[in-house]
Structure 1
């Protein structure tokens, strides 16, 4: 088992409430939740935008968001970006194959 260290920080009350609400919705322990958030940040955060890419942003219902986060928590190493791109690519490939068959 890898070594673990404790992390403690004072944060604004509103941010604390939002984080704890999401953590509870995902049915994660606080340690699991903080690890998930930090892992996502370091996997995606701080990177300059790659040339030839575009941003695709949209809002989803809270329930769907929770389901996605729960799925990702069960699949360590799979980022939200990779997951969504995989779903979009699969749907477009299936649509292209159906259009070619017609």
Structure 2
């Protein structure tokens, strides 16, 4: 019997999954927009995915964004109101990732 570290047994790389707060689908972390509440209570878009604090993820789609805002899911996740500037920053990130088709 070959050893686990031996030839012929390649391990597949695990892809971290996160749940979108808008559609509640599990998707690869890299495909989602991360919004974070820092330990200071500031809410912002985390472009690096590494900021410390409580994070929430949204699909880069207008439907998920609208669902997350309409149902106030982000506010529930962070337990505070979301400033309009943060909503605008999420929309800008959405436009950057998925430009409108012409």
TM-score range with shorter-chain normalisation? under 0.3
| TM-score (norm: length of structure 1) | 0.22
The structure with the largest strand share of the pair is: 2
